[in-house]
Structure 1
Amino acid sequence: MFLQLAVMVGAIALGSRRGGVAMGLWGAVGVFVLATVFGVAPADTSGIVDVMLIILAVIMAAAAMETAGGIDYLVGVAERVIRRNPSRITFIAPVVSWLFTLGAGTAHVFYPLLPVIHDVAREGGVRPERPIAVSSIAATVGITASPVSAAMAAMIVLFDKDGWGLPKIMAVAVPATLVGVLVAAAVQSRVGKPLEQDAEYQRRLAAGELEPVPGPEVTPALDPLAKPNPLPPRAAWSAYLFLLGTAAVVLSGLFPSLRPGAADGKGPLSMAATIEILMMAVAALILLVCKVDAKKIPGSDVARSGLVAVIGVFGLSWLGLSFIGANEHRITDALGGVARSQPWFFAVMLLVLSALLFSQATTTKALMPLGVALGIPAPLLIAMWPAVNGYFLLPTYGTFLAAINFDRTGTTRLGRFVVNHSFMLPGLVTVTVSVLTGFGIAELLA
């Protein structure tokens, strides 16, 4: 068992060093080694395929929206909201970032907001580290609340058959993660010295590395469709169509009678198939209504990130499930009692391993079946789900690196000892409060 565990950890480590699709590819190499050297039967991939198809369907809709200019339109709307209340940016920016990811299903749409958050904070005399750090965390945590995220797809496939479908999962995850973000923002609002007392910021000003903050001026209302960077004429339509599709997914989960009947006559169509149908239809509608060039969609940023997600889920989830399947009895005998009596122990496992897997969806698909095997009830596993947002433990993920680079004041930074960085405190507070709040909500719904 321990040699097999070493193979799995080694494959994850090798994939992490290269990043991108390499993580999924090395996961497949790990499956090959387990099968040929240790005689482990590779896990059944039918559940993984369901997750991959949902990801592809959602990514197609999001990529069509991006190509039509819909993401730029939404960024413009978010910028307008953030600029309206500069003095409260430490609270408003994280909530906007969380909502952005909640609607889009991916944290990659958060990047355009970073320079806006930085500039508004600095102009308002707020230390940029405060809103930037907690907004970066909020954007990632929003994935575990979004009805169209890859991680939610994995949860639906795992728990829908147990009566914990999309509506119940969202009923726990949405308020739990929002409360976590708000508490983290309150804590973050007191972090660090004010800008006028920050030595590094003052050094950069004196050295001419930064221009002085511009004087007060009236900021014109921001129109997402206005010049000098006009968007395609139907950019807003694509955003509305995508959000309409997202709403249709939620309604289909809330009211199963809205779904068509399954061919086998055993009730409504599964949520996995419903999401796939709805989001592919949304992508087709965006192509038709917004006159999008279909050839440009595969080259969009969202499509490329979606490919990475699909390969990662395939390779790493396959590796994790194969290892768990071959050693389920040993694992449950060793950890079962602890996990059942102290559920928080499994949340810590999710947090730590997600920092290595770099994907909420992959962590969900690889480890949640272990939680089921350990006998942890579904409501508790759903309450602990926000713990898969452990990227911040090692701030090597793109969102955090981009946040550091966008903060020209130098207040958002990596620590001398790696782990003492700007994202650690808001990350730990958000995840801890989200999980604790989730326990309370799940108890009420169970």
Structure 2
Amino acid sequence: MIIVQLIILLAMILIGSRLKGIGLGVMGMIGLLIFVLVFHMRPVDPPVSVLLIIMAIVTTAATLQAAGGLDYLVRIAEKIIRKNPSHITFIAPFTVYFLCLFAGTAHIVYSLLPIISEVAAKKRIRPERPLSISVIASHMALTGSPMSAATATLAATLAYSTAAVDIMKICIPACIIGIAAGVISVWKKGKELNEDPEFLEKMKDPEFAKSLEATTTVNQVDLKPGAKTSVLIFGLAILLIIFFGAFPQFVPVVEAGNPGFAVNADGAVNLTGLIIMITLSASALMMLITKTAPTEVAKMSLFTSMATAVVSVLGVVWMSATFMAANESIIEHTFKDITSEYPFTFAFALFIVGALTFSQAATTRTIMPMGIALGIVPPHLIAMFPAVNSDFILPGYPTLVAAMDFDRTGTTRIGKYVFNHSFMIPGLVSIAVAIAAGFMLSSFL
């Protein structure tokens, strides 16, 4: 029976991923309905904490965007990239990584992709190299950023006071090492631009050759007056979250009793509650101090993308969690010995689900509880956390598509066999090395 249920689960995820957008969420609900009506499964509680974390963090990032803070950050990143054009394959991915690590979203990379492509093409460096690893770096930043929903979800799932700080201590250096390996994997990938037949053919067109030398800049409009202030407030919110994670003795304690959504049994306010309170308070301060209208925040691209994320996570996580709960004893009996002996094998489950769901947060909330049930210790779960960044496997994720669109030379592409696309090698190398580094770091941190 579990085989039939698993086929239904995977079918709903595959169909939903092809529909894109909220398709993953609504197909997840169909799967859940089948589980309840046909197999009489008991639906587990919906992932309320994850949904609220996503809403709070994305609202804060959207407020930063509306106040001009993201424009300010992108300008700084653009200056760094343009200052060292000859080393763009190395500089671009790390600039993108730290920018996305701070902002907590990979979507900020859209503003930098045309800059990376242009600078590389002008230096006659194959744009595929910096573009591919920069996109991967933007995803890797989410597994370690204190402002990403994925990191907050894992911290809430592990449910111990210093979880968030432990995730950052292991995943940030591990992902940096992984990205460095990814850079090496693409350093000489493909033919040099001046030897690429497709590029040479395009250069015969004088209009194309002229356009290639034109300078592209982003955010040419003046920065909003409150841009720098909004970044400062956002940064203080990050530091406050890290502070409470690193020093749990300073976490507010209320009356002990029955544990609730935001309060542990001992009366300590948990990290989930603190993240929501701190981020939304930061959003409010940005609105008040920078005089950013709430209506402007609601118009931001980050804010409108929140609905898609919430529906997708609700559907696929609720369906998957119900399946896991109904078959917990079978799953535990089947895999516990393997994962106990070889903990790293659990990374394959994270990797596969991440490739299907296109969501680090959804994958984390779906699979990590199973890892805890299998007896995998938290340091090993944290070491394997970068495996959820496998949304590059199917080349339909928006950041991948954008990188291909911005590369006017045509070097960044989907291969003849679909899976042999520009992002596959740097993605696989970066994740594999990051997980290996994570295991080493977790042994002594």
TM-score normalized with structure 1 length: 0.94
| Structure 2 Cα separation of the partners of residues 393 and 18 of structure 1 | 16
Alpha-carbon shift at residue 231 of structure 1 (Å):
2.2
CA deviations 1:369-403 (Å, max 9, x no partner) are 11112222221111111001111211110110110
| Structure 1 Cα separation of the partners of residues 284 and 374 of structure 2 | 42
Equivalent positions of 1:332-347 (< 5 A) are 332-347=332-347
Equivalent positions of 1:221-260 (< 5 A) are 228-260=220-252
Identity level (%): 39
Equivalent positions of 1:51-62 (< 5 A) are 51-62=50-61
CA deviations 1:332-381 (Å, max 9, x no partner) are 22222222222222111211221110000000100111111222222111
Aligned-residue CA RMSD (Å): 1.9
Partner of 2:270: 270
Secondary structure of the residue aligned to 1:286 is helix
| Structure 2 Cα separation of the partners of residues 111 and 240 of structure 1 | 23
Secondary structure of the residue aligned to 2:221 is coil
CA deviations 1:149-176 (Å, max 9, x no partner) are 1111210111133x65111111111100
Change (3 A) 1:288 1:164: closer
| Structure 2 Cα separation of the partners of residues 214 and 147 of structure 1 | 38
Equivalent positions of 1:275-314 (< 5 A) are 275-314=275-314
Alpha-carbon shift at residue 264 of structure 1 (Å):
2.2
Alpha-carbon shift at residue 126 of structure 1 (Å):
1.3
Partner of 2:4: 3
Please tell me whether the aligned partners of residues 160 and 166 of structure 1 are also in contact (alpha carbons under 8 angstroms): no
Partner of 1:193: 191
Alpha-carbon shift at residue 209 of structure 1 (Å):
6.1
Amino acid at match of 1:20: G
| Structure 1 Cα separation of the partners of residues 249 and 288 of structure 2 | 28
Amino acid at match of 1:127: R
Structure 1 stretch displaced more, 202-211 or 352-361: 202-211
Partner of 1:28: 29
Alpha-carbon shift at residue 421 of structure 1 (Å):
0.8
Change (3 A) 1:164 1:4: farther
| Structure 2 Cα separation of the partners of residues 291 and 195 of structure 1 | 47
Partner of 1:41: 42
Alpha-carbon shift at residue 207 of structure 1 (Å):
3.4
Alpha-carbon shift at residue 125 of structure 1 (Å):
2.2
Change (3 A) 1:256 1:203: same
Change (3 A) 1:206 1:245: same
Secondary structure of the residue aligned to 1:392 is coil
Please tell me whether the aligned partners of residues 95 and 138 of structure 1 are also in contact (alpha carbons under 8 angstroms): yes
Alpha-carbon shift at residue 208 of structure 1 (Å):
4.2
Change (3 A) 1:268 1:209: farther
Please tell me whether the aligned partners of residues 164 and 378 of structure 1 are also in contact (alpha carbons under 8 angstroms): no
Equivalent positions of 1:92-241 (< 5 A) are 92-161=91-160, 165-208=163-206, 210-212=208-210, 228-241=220-233
| Structure 2 Cα separation of the partners of residues 14 and 129 of structure 1 | 30
The unaligned stretches of length 5 or more in structure 1 are none
Alpha-carbon shift at residue 267 of structure 1 (Å):
5.2
| Structure 2 Cα separation of the partners of residues 414 and 382 of structure 1 | 32
The unaligned stretches of length 5 or more in structure 2 are 258-265
Alpha-carbon shift at residue 263 of structure 1 (Å):
3.5
Partner of 2:349: 349
Please tell me whether the aligned partners of residues 355 and 390 of structure 2 are also in contact (alpha carbons under 8 angstroms): yes
| Structure 1 Cα separation of the partners of residues 341 and 210 of structure 2 | 57
Secondary structure of the residue aligned to 1:241 is helix
Alpha-carbon shift at residue 212 of structure 1 (Å):
4.5
Equivalent positions of 1:373-388 (< 5 A) are 373-388=373-388
Change (3 A) 1:164 1:324: farther
Please tell me whether the aligned partners of residues 162 and 247 of structure 2 are also in contact (alpha carbons under 8 angstroms): no
Alpha-carbon shift at residue 177 of structure 1 (Å):
0.5
Partner of 1:18: 19
| Structure 2 Cα separation of the partners of residues 360 and 101 of structure 1 | 14
Please tell me whether the aligned partners of residues 125 and 192 of structure 2 are also in contact (alpha carbons under 8 angstroms): yes
Partner of 2:260: none
TM-score normalized with structure 2 length: 0.94
Amino acid at match of 2:360: Q
| Structure 2 Cα separation of the partners of residues 386 and 135 of structure 1 | 16
Amino acid at match of 1:44: D
Please tell me whether the aligned partners of residues 56 and 279 of structure 2 are also in contact (alpha carbons under 8 angstroms): yes
Please tell me whether the aligned partners of residues 257 and 268 of structure 1 are also in contact (alpha carbons under 8 angstroms): no
